[in-house]
């Protein structure tokens, strides 16, 4: 995983001596010295939003996903779903043969009613001191056992009706009507994929920049350059000591069910957005200097080229952010740098012919 924030490597087009030992010259001085006027292309340094992002890889996970299994032994009587269809929470999916269990419930209901009558009689008699306490305790214990047994049988009868625990899409079925199954037999899968979750591991050096609510853009191979967008909702409270990364999860709306659990994803985690950053074309950089800076040439009021040391921010597609050294409206030379030096008279393309920095893709 490699972050997009990288050191800008520019071919050196002029020596560092341009910044020292050379004084700017006016048009008159240039003309007096016999310096020709050079044709250049220049653009204005402009303010625009800049997103500092981190390029990572991750995977798509379901919002909810589980295996549907039978909790009891039985025979499948009816399958009430089609593979791959959406289902709602509580929808009946599979019904087992309940004949034997229904008979058991009826039998234990009768036993329970008899036990309750005996218990009520014993309670009255012990209050009147007509039976010993031990006889009452025996009647109470028998009543409790019968009640527990009835509850268990009623639950087993209820387990013959297998319903969807949440809304989602049903998977392939592994059983058929009439099949005798054992407890814990896998029947099918149920998956909720709207929204889905993007899971990624962020290197620990970026932890200070992580925030809940940060946005995320992702692409998957199946849909080419189509972008999906989400928001970070979980940042793990610990760093994995083996990988030195932190698990981050983002929620991605998936109304068309295009994203599938298990997909590999290329992600752009947007760490910070600067709304009023100064941006110029990358071609304006003539030379890299120490300390994360570079040299650009601007056109001064006397229409001469003058070097300006700038501090670089982040690099974008064909553009670069300028953190220090330029002001909005400064005319920056982007073409013809090989023909100029400090104080060289220049003429430049009309503003309407000057390309503006491209917007963020």
Question: What DSSP string describes 65-122?
Answer: EEEEE-SS-EEEEEE---TT-EE-TT-EEEEE--HHHHHHHHHHHHHHHHHHHHHHHH
Domains within the chain, CATH numbers bracketed: 16-50+275-350 (2.40.420.20), 54-64+192-273 (2.40.30.170), 71-96+161-184 (2.40.50.100), 98-159 (1.10.287)
Q: Quick one: 84 exposed, middle or buried, by C-beta within 10 A (0-12, 13-18, 19+)?
A: exposed
What is the predicted pLDDT for the residue at 177? 92
Q: What residues are paired with 321 via a beta bridge? A: 279
What is the predicted pLDDT for the residue at 251? 95
- CA dihedral (106, 107, 112, 114) in degrees, to 10, reads 120
Q: Is the CB of residue 166 less than 8 Å from the CB of residue 194?
A: no
pLDDT (tens digit, 0 to 9) for every residue of the chain, 361 residues total?
Answer: 444 433 333 333 333 333 333 334 444 444 435 678 888 888 888 888 887 788 899 999 999 999 999 998 999 999 999 999 999 999 999 999 888 888 888 888 888 888 888 788 888 887 877 878 888 888 888 888 888 888 888 888 898 899 999 999 999 999 999 999 999 999 999 999 999 999 999 999 888 889 999 999 999 999 988 999 999 999 999 999 999 999 999 999 999 989 999 999 999 998 878 888 888 888 888 877 776 788 989 888 888 989 999 888 888 778 888 888 888 888 888 888 888 888 889 887 654 444 444 444 4
Give dist(CA 24, CA 358) in Å, integer. Answer: 31
* DSSP summary character for residue 353: G
Q: Degrees (nearest 5) of the Cα angle 327, 331, 337? A: 125
What is the predicted pLDDT for the residue at 216? 92
What is the predicted pLDDT for the residue at 33? 53
Taken as a whole, the chain contains a residue count of 361
C-alpha atoms less than 13 angstroms from C-alpha of 3 in its C-beta half-sphere: 18
What is the predicted pLDDT for the residue at 87? 93
What is the predicted pLDDT for the residue at 147? 86
Closest CA to 270 of 313, 315, 218: 218
Cβ atoms within 10 A of the Cβ of 285, count? 24
């Amino acid at each position: 995983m490699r972050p997009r924030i990288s050191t800008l490597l520019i071919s050196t087009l002029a020596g560092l001596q341009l910044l020292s030992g050379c004084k700017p010259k006016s048009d008159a001085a240039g003309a007096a010295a016999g310096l020709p006027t050079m044709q250049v292309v220049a653009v204005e340094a402009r303010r625009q939003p800049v997103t500092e992002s981190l390029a990572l890889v991750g995977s798509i996970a379901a919002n909810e996903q589980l295996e549907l299994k039978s909790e009891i032994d039985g025979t499948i009587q009816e399958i009430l779903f089609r593979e791959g269809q959406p289902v709602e929470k509580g929808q009946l999916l599979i019904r087992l043969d309940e004949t034997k269990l229904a008979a058991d419930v009826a039998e234990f209901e009768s036993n329970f009613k008899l036990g309750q009558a005996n218990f009520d009689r014993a309670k009255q008699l012990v209050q009147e001191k007509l039976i010993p306490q031990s006889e009452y305790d025996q009647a109470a214990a028998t009543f409790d056992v019968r009640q527990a047994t009835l509850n268990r049988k009623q639950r087993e009868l209820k387990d013959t009706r297998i319903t969807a625990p949440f809304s989602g899409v049903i998977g392939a079925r592994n059983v058929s009507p009439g099949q005798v199954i054992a407890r814990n037999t896998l029947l099918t899968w149920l998956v909720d994929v709207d929204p889905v979750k993007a899971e990624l591991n962020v290197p620990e050096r970026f932890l200070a920049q992580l925030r809940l609510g940060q946005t995320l853009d992702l692409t998957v191979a199946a849909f080419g350059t189509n972008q999906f967008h989400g928001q970070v909702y979980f940042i793990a409270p610990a760093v994995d000591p083996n990988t030195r990364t932190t698990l981050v999860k983002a929620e991605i709306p998936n109304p068309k069910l295009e994203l599938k659990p298990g997909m590999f994803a290329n992600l752009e985690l947007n760490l910070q957005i600067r709304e009023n950053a100064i941006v110029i074309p990358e071609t304006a950089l003539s030379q890299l200097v120490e300390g994360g800076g570079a040299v650009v040439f601007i056109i001064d009021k006397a229409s001469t080229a003058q070097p300006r040391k700038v501090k670089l921010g982040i690099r974008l597609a064909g553009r670069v952010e300028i953190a220090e050294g330029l002001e909005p409206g400064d005319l920056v030379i982007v073409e013809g740098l090989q023909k100029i030096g400090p104080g060289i008279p220049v003429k430049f393309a009309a503003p309407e012919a000057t390309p503006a920095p491209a917007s963020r893709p």
